């Protein structure tokens, strides 16, 4: 017997000229069949093909070629009597009851869009949830909470100055696992960190009502293409650290039936290891799993046109089958891959087993948790933060010194989907997660937040003004810092989740972007827009090689050349020189409870002009106002930028 080896190499359903080849990895199987259905609601197949090892098995790969199978055919595998979804399927039917879902046969069609290759130093990331971004009626979009609705908001992103969007997960996921069940219909996993497959695009954001079609793929590809045409890259938040199957007793979608010992890491006692916090941990460095992840990434990069990936709990990809940190792992292979190494690769460098920021293989960019915490604490007015703040503003070299990416190793952020929004960070001392149904036990307790006088909603104009001022202080730090800045959706317009810092299960007004707030926070929006424009205009804010001290950066305090780095210091100033344009900047931060007057450096043949002062609402437009005094008094809880002319 002669094997057609290709039918055992390409897993999934692969259409050919006169039929379709189906292939799957399965170990320790007694019965295996391929079942076909007329409708997504059918529970009994109209056709069943039983595979046998002599005709359909090569190693651990089972395969069958069937003639006259067309695109759109519905099917599932059945392993030892358990119906499973094909893990390589590009689309599933849209069934609320997971058990009724079917895999859909699709042709592999590429994309016409090309990667636009925004240089890392120029990236302005906007972290967004496709559904929540436009689900509110205030979004004024045609098909709210869809891929096409997000497309309608591209002009808004362009006005803001964004050139990279980072989408929360779009792999198909189960709404009801973990702490949620189908009885709690008002609570659903809305973030998407609960995948059942790494290839299938979710239909949850599709404008189509056809459960059996793959219209969502066309719609998503169109969104990516339009973003590219407008100069905006697309990064996907990808979840390869666990699946929705959970641990012992969890549901079976595919991998557990195929061979749970291949796909998941186990302890010596054969218990599911749980570095994800979701019941299981994907065995990412097993050859079979590693190949699947790489094929998944290549699909998204080459066939849908996305430009990069942010890896949720990335250290899991660096662990071997014994859960130990591997000397050479998938993390290394992605940096060395001839194609994927050219994608934007971003790591969330911590999991339940450890904190590895700065320990990723050279070439990765990493979410910088130290940056987030330091900026929050300095803005709140905590002591002993100034020396740390200087390190974070100037590229976190102490953390990323061994990374060839230089300053672009650091993804600088103050808020992300996981935690408080920026407005809630300055409005709440405590988390308020009771609506999540876990007695406020879920979510981070150590938020470094401060409500500035009243908890949550207030009508006190002075408190509201101070909160806005503090947001501007954080945005100013974010966009003058070396590294890659990332903004959470809606922070530019004061989005609130009413103090919920773990709103993964709130698909309601709690998490929807309220576009009406843009009017109320027009000054914050304008400030954000102009900070992004400033960063784009001067290379000094986005260096690729280390700054040259005494030439490009000089630290100051209230007195020139005398930065206060003491434990109780709450202020810092520095002078930056943009050599390309021969422009000087003077930037000062004051987190003290009183105003501080800073001496200004003397300039030759130029004068200082006030660009912005966060304590002044009318300073958000960045109109340059000549400053003739030899000093500048920075009010309490505010910051300033002066520019030389």
Q: Which residues are the active-site residues?
A: 312, 348
Q: Distance between alpha carbon 451 and the CA centroid of its chain, in Å? A: 27
Dist. CA 595–CA 639, nearest whole Å:
11
Integer Cα distance of 153 and 132 in angstroms: 13
Angle, alpha carbons 152-155-157 (nearest 5°): 105
The b-or-e profile of 273-286 (16+ CB within 10 A means b, else e) is bbbbebbbbbbbbb
Report the alpha-carbon angle 357-360-363, nearest 5. 120
Match 């651990």 to its residue by tokens. Answer: 60
- Per DSSP, what are the bridge partners of residue 32? 79
Write out the two tokens for 420.
Answer: 């408080």
Cα distance between residue 601 and residue 105, in whole Å: 68
Question: Strand 125-128 and strand 164-167: pairing?
Answer: parallel
Structure tokens at 571: 């202020």
- C-alpha dist (Å) from residue 391 to 71, 385, 398, 399: 55, 10, 7, 9
Which single residue is written with the structure tokens 């590693």?
290
Residue 582, token pair as written in the block: 């021969």
Cβ(69)–Cβ(15) below 8 Å: yes
> What is the DSSP code string of 284-337?
TTSHHHHHHHHHHHHIIIIIS---EEEETTGGGGGB-TTSPBPSS-HHHHHHH-
CA atoms within 13 A on the CB side of 66: 21
DSSP string, 58-69: ETTEEEEEEET-
Cβ count near 104 (within 10 Å): 23
User: Residue 524 corresponds to which tokens in the numbers above?
Assistant: 């914050």
User: Which tokens sit at 474?
Assistant: 């954080």
- CA proximity to 191, closest of 548, 528, 593, 503: 503
CA atoms of 335 and 333, how far apart (whole Å): 5
Handedness of CA 423, 427, 428, 432 (dihedral sign): negative
* CB burial string 34-66: b at 16+ within 10 A, e below: bbbbeebeeeebeeebebeeeebbeebbbbbbb
387: left (phi over 0), alpha (psi -120 to 50) or beta: alpha
Which residues, 6+ apart, have CB-to-CB distance to 632 below 8 Å? Answer: 586, 588, 597, 598, 600, 610, 640, 642
Q: How many CB atoms lie within 10 A of CB 362?
A: 12
In whole angstroms, give the CA distance from residue 380 to residue 470: 9
Are 645 and 606 spatial neighbours (Cβ–Cβ below 8 Å)? yes
Contact 573, 563 (CB under 8 A): yes
**Structure-block tokens of residue 80:** 């030892």
> Tokens for 570?
């709450």
């Amino acid at each position: 017997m002669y094997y057609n080896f290709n039918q055992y190499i390409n897993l999934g359903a692969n259409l050919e000229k006169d039929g379709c080849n189906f292939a799957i990895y399965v170990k320790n199987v007694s019965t295996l069949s391929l079942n076909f259905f007329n409708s997504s609601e059918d529970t009994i197949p109209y056709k069943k093909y039983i595979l046998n090892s002599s005709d359909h098995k090569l190693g651990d790969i089972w395969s069958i070629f069937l003639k006259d199978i067309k695109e759109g055919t519905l099917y599932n595998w059945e392993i030892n009597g358990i119906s499973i979804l094909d893990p390589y399927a590009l689309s599933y039917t849209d069934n609320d009851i997971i058990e009724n879902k079917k895999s859909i046969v699709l042709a592999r069609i590429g994309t016409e869009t090309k990667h636009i290759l925004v240089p890392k130093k120029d990236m302005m990331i906007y972290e967004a949830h496709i559904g929540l971004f436009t689900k509110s009626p205030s979004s004024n979009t045609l098909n709210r909470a869809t891929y096409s609705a997000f497309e309608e908001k591209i002009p808004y992103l362009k006005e803001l100055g964004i050139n990279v969007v980072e989408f929360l997960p779009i792999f198909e996921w189960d709404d009801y696992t973990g702490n949620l069940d189908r009885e709690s219909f008002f609570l659903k996993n809305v973030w998407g960190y609960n995948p059942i497959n790494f290839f299938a695009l979710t239909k949850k954001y599709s404008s189509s009502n056809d459960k059996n079609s793959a219209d969502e793929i066309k719609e998503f590809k169109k969104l990516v293409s339009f973003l590219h045409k407008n100069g905006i890259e697309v990064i996907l938040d990808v979840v390869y650290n666990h699946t929705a199957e959970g641990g012992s007793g969890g549901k079976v979608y595919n991998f557990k039936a195929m061979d749970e010992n291949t796909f998941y890491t186990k302890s010596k006692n054969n218990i599911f290891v749980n570095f994800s916090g979701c019941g299981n941990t994907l065995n990412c460095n097993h050859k079979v799993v590693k190949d699947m992840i790489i094929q998944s990434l290549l699909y998204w990069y080459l066939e849908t046109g996305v430009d990069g990936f942010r890896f949720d709990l990335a250290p899991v990809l660096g662990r071997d089958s014994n859960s130990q940190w591997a000397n050479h792992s998938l993390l290394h292979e992605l940096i060395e891959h001839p194609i994927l190494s050219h994608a934007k690769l971003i790591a969330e460098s911590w999991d339940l087993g450890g904190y590895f920021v700065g320990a990723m293989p050279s070439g990765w960019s990493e979410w910088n948790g130290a940056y987030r915490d330091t900026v929050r604490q300095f803005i709140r007015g905590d002591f002993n933060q100034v020396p740390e703040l200087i390190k974070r503003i100037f590229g976190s070299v102490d953390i990323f010194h061994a990374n060839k990416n230089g300053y672009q190793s650091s993804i600088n952020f103050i808020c992300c989907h996981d935690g408080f929004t920026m407005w809630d960070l300055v409005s709440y001392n405590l988390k308020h997660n009771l609506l999540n149904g876990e007695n406020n036990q879920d979510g981070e307790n150590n938020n470094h937040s401060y409500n500035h006088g009243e908890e949550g909603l207030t009508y006190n104009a002075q408190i509201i003004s101070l909160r806005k001022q503090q947001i501007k202080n954080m945005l100013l730090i974010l966009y003058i810092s070396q590294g890659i800045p990332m903004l959470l959706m809606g922070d530019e317009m004061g989005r609130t989740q009413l103090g919920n810092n773990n709103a993964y299960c709130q698909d309601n007004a709690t998490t929807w972007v309220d576009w009406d707030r843009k009017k109320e926070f027009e000054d914050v929006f304008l400030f954000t827009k102009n900070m992004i424009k400033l960063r784009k205009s001067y290379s000094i804010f986005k260096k690729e090689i280390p700054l040259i001290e005494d030439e490009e950066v000089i630290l100051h305090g209230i007195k020139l050349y005398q930065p206060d780095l003491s434990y109780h210091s709450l202020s810092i100033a520095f002078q930056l020189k943009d050599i390309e344009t021969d422009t000087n900047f003077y930037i000062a931060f004051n987190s003290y409870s009183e105003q501080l007057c800073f001496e200004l450096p003397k300039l030759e043949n130029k004068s200082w002009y006030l660009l912005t002062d966060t304590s002044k609402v009318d300073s958000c437009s960045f109109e340059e106002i000549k400053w003739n005094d030899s000093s500048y008094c920075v009010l309490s809880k505010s910051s300033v930028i002066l520019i030389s002319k």
